[in-house]
Amino acid sequence: MPLLTHVESRRRPTSPWATISIIVLSVLAFMWLAAAPLDERLALLNRWGTVPARLFDPDAPLIRQLLELRAARLFTALLVHADWLHLTGNLLFLMIFGVAAERVLGSRRFLLLYLLGGAAANLVGALTLSSVNAPIVGSSGAVSAIVGAYLALFPRSRLGLVLPLGLFLEFVKVPAPLLIGFWVLLQLLFTYVGPSFGAVVWWTHIGGFLLGVLFALVSRPAIARRWRN
């Protein structure tokens, strides 16, 4: 149940347009990349992704960095994904947790969390790999921020899963904190396992998750006012 169940609201449920828009834009961006030849696709990933060594290049004049909008790559990286598996995994978690989080936060506040949380998560990842020339791409950090906000907003909720049990598929409801806690442990484990699991990604997950929790807790008074009005 959400943390605001005790607040009486006259609001009618609205369409989660922010979540839908993010999904549509992400799919369109991936289709655009997939249609490009391999060399051009890699160049686009490097151009629009967050490249830590380029972001923290001490030899580049400030005016050049501003003209090239290097800091903007923290945001544009959220829309580009390396492959279908990368895209599908992120959008799946976004659909599971995003709709409920958007309903409580409000679409504009939800979109703000997605963009700022994702950019900040990419910055955390870039700081931990400041000399790396490979781009950080994908919405993992932003989705992690949404997952963190969901945990803070719905600490007692249960998620329905279809699990293979023997020869049959069973629909079971699992406490969301248990699933999210398992997910967080995996992020911590993969962070210390090493580059073979994709060192570029895991700190962005952890940073985004913590930012999402903090954002939801700080936003509680504003959310309560929104639901009362």
Residues identified as active-site: 140, 205
Identify whether the C-beta of residue 138 lies closer than 8 Å to the C-beta of residue 90: yes
For residue 135, the 8-state DSSP code is P
CA–CA distances in Å: residue 67 to residues 99, 130, 204: 37, 21, 26
Q: Is 121 left (phi over 0), alpha (psi -120 to 50) or beta?
A: alpha
Residues 6+ apart with CB under 8 A from 102: 16, 18, 19, 110
> Which residues are paired to 170 by β-bridges?
163
Q: Which residue has the tokens 């985004």?
A: 208
DSSP 78: G
Helix (H) or strand (E) holding 11: none
